């Protein structure tokens, strides 16, 4: 496994993973009052997730059990007076696979609650001997991203590799539909096209789910090199929970399946 493969896998989670309600509250969040919308910032209706959601996954590399993954919304924060969700994702290998190639990746994103666009994201990569830290800050008003010493022009409301998952979960889906999304990662923009291939029932450790199968690909005219294939299954209900993700690349296939859902009491904090 190369560092790229693990990172690409996290990107895969870009729309996947479904889950059982597991006692989660109704999908509305009224704890924080949304700040008055400014005319230059969009608003997106969200009935899919709330602060406190926790999703856990089994990860397989080929037929081997490789480890676990988790996605959660542990905290609410304010960013310049605007309510936000703190999104957290972690991917780690089990003891057996760590003896071959250890992975312990952490990612977090500050997602605007009203517009569902990122204000910043951070990634801490620990993959074998490779270690890296990435941080980007977004300016959605002027369509810019700041990473390291660089200021980069990005398409309006570009999504990072974590926020894109939650944004897609809020969309109305139908078989045959094609959705264009701009993805930002490591100082590069990736114009993606998500195709809703079909609706089918699948079984994972968390239960049985009716899902939309999504295929991630290049938007027509995009020039970046495609290094693998990716499919995501999201529940067909209003929560659009990511149930399963599958990636196929020269090194092999990685599968992530929902194993557990729960609710944690979210914290509320000011922007640090």
Give pLDDT, residue 152. Answer: 96
Give pLDDT, residue 269. Answer: 67
Express each pLDDT in 153-180 by its tens digit.
999 999 999 999 999 999 999 999 999 9
Q: pLDDT truncated to tens, each residue of the chain (272 aa)?
A: 433 343 443 333 333 332 222 232 333 343 333 334 444 789 999 999 999 999 999 999 988 999 999 999 999 999 989 999 999 999 999 999 999 999 999 999 999 999 999 999 999 999 999 999 999 999 998 999 999 999 999 999 999 999 999 999 999 999 999 999 999 999 999 999 999 999 999 999 999 999 999 999 889 888 777 666 889 999 999 999 999 999 987 777 899 999 999 998 888 765 44
How far apart CA 18 and CA 224 sit, in angstroms, is 29
Give pLDDT, residue 11. Answer: 38
The rounded percent of the chain whose pLDDT value lies above 70 is: 83
pTM over 0.75: yes
How far apart CA 148 and CA 136 sit, in angstroms, is 8
Give pLDDT, residue 169. Answer: 95
Contact 169, 240 (CB under 8 A): yes
Give pLDDT, residue 229. Answer: 85
How far apart CA 17 and CA 185 sit, in angstroms, is 21
Q: Classify residue 103 by its DSSP letter.
A: B
How far apart CA 261 and CA 94 sit, in angstroms, is 20
Give pLDDT, residue 132. Answer: 93
CA 34 to each of CA 30, 42, 155, 179: distance values in angstroms, whole numbers, following the listed order: 9, 13, 25, 27
Beta bridge partners of 234: 212, 242
Give pLDDT, residue 248. Answer: 84
């Amino acid at each position: 496994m190369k560092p790229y493969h693990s990172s690409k896998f996290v990107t895969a989670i870009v729309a996947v993973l479904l889950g059982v309600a597991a006692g989660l509250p109704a999908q509305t969040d009224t704890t924080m009052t949304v700040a008055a919308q400014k005319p230059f910032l969009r608003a997106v209706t969200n009935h899919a997730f709330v602060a406190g959601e926790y999703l856990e996954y089994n990860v397989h590399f080929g037929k081997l059990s490789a480890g676990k993954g988790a996605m959660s919304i542990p905290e609410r924060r304010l960013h310049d007076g605007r309510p936000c969700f703190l999104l957290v994702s972690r991917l780690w290998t089990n003891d057996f696979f760590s003896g071959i190639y250890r992975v312990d990746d952490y990612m977090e994103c500050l997602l605007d609650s009203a517009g569902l666009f990122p204000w910043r994201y951070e990634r801490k990569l620990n993959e074998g001997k490779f270690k890296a830290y990435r941080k980007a800050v977004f300016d959605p008003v002027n369509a810019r991203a700041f990473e390291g010493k660089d200021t980069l022009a990005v398409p309006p409301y570009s999504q990072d590799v974590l926020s894109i998952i939650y944004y897609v979960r809020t969309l109305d889906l139908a078989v045959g539909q094609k959705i264009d999304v701009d993805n930002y990662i490591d100082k590069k923009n990736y114009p993606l096209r998500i195709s809703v291939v079909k609706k089918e029932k699948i079984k994972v450790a968390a239960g049985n789910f009716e899902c939309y199968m999504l295929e991630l690909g290049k938007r027509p005219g995009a020039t970046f090199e495609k290094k693998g294939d990716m499919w995501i299954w999201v529940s067909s209900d209003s929560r659009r929970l990511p149930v399963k993700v599958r990636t196929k690349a020269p090194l092999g296939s990685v599968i992530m399946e929902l194993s557990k859902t729960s609710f944690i009491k979210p914290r509320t904090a000011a922007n640090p």
